């Protein structure tokens, strides 16, 4: 080996290092991490999939639109935050599309954003029969990813009477479900309280006599 030219020896050493780190970082490390994830965090590692009637209907980590074929929100369901994750070239793509995750990237003083917020405020005020002053910020603004699966308890609260009326349920019963699916801050102080929209809507459909709404919204 010592008889080989210096340049050749350097290339051989570099190639050996490449093989070692390829095996360590490209094979051993991923296999170990996948194994640990499957053992300790199987649900999260598999995508936190949510099933209804034995079928996968979404992920608790991603938002999902509850609209009709024309993109109109279904009154019997809680609605998610607005989502910019959609493609204008795809028919019936109204948001929450993981293929187009992303934010609007509009600043707080941007006139387009302000106009959009005002339009959403008017739509929500009419849809949920509330005053504009009652509408929380997350109801009229999208998240950084456009795929936030949660809404604030305040947004859930203004939707509760509308959902209860559409389903012919007591408001108190729907409020109880909202409370059940309201999660607190992580570790007691990180983030804000939140309500997972998909899990809450599935819980509504699972109530006695409510499966008809799941079929109507499919």
Is 167 in the same domain as 110? yes
Q: For the chain, how many structural domains are there in total?
A: 2
pTM of the model: 0.79
Question: Which stretch of DSSP H or E encloses residue 49?
Answer: strand 49-52
Among 51-55, 66-70, 102-106, 198-202, the least confident range: 102-106
Is 63 in the same domain as 39? no
Check whether 78 has a pLDDT greater than 90. Answer: yes
Is 58 in the same domain as 14? no
The string of DSSP letters for 2-29 reads: TTS-HHHHHHHHHHHHHHHHHHIIIIIH
Is 127 in the same domain as 21? no
Question: Partners of 196 in the beta sheet?
Answer: 150
Is 96 in the same domain as 177? yes
Is 123 in the same domain as 170? yes
- The whole domain housing 1 covers 1-46
The whole-number average pLDDT for the span 118-146 is 94
Query: What's the number of CA atoms in the CB half-sphere (13 Å) around residue 58?
Result: 20
Is 68 in the same domain as 151? yes
Check whether 215 has a pLDDT greater than 70. Answer: no
Number of Cβ atoms within 10 Å of the Cβ of 42: 9
Is 22 in the same domain as 52? no
Is 105 in the same domain as 159? yes
From the centroid of its chain, how far is CA 140? 16
What does pLDDT average to over the chain?
Answer: 89
């Amino acid at each position: 080996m010592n008889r080989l030219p210096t340049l050749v020896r350097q290339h051989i050493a570099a190639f050996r290092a490449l093989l070692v780190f390829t095996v360590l970082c490209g094979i051993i490390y991923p296999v170990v991490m996948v194994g640990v994830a499957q053992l300790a965090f199987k649900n999260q590692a598999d995508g936190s999939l949510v099933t209804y009637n034995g079928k996968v209907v979404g992920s608790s980590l991603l938002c999902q639109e509850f609209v009709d074929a024309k993109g109109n929100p279904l009154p019997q369901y809680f609605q998610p935050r607005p989502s910019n994750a959609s493609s204008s070239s795809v028919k019936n793509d109204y948001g929450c599309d993981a293929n187009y995750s992303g934010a609007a990237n509009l600043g707080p003083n941007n006139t387009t954003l302000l106009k959009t917020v005002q339009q959403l405020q008017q739509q929500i005020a009419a849809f949920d029969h509330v005053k504009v002053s009652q509408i929380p910020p997350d109801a009229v603004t999208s998240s950084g990813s456009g795929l936030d699966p949660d809404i604030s308890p305040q947004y859930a609260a203004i939707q509760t009477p509308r959902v209860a009326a559409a389903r012919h349920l007591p408001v108190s019963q729907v409020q109880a479900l909202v409370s059940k699916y309201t999660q607190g801050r992580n570790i007691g102080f990180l983030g804000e309280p939140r309500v997972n929209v998909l899990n809450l809507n599935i819980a509504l459909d699972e109530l006695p006599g409510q499966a008809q709404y799941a079929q109507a919204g499919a």
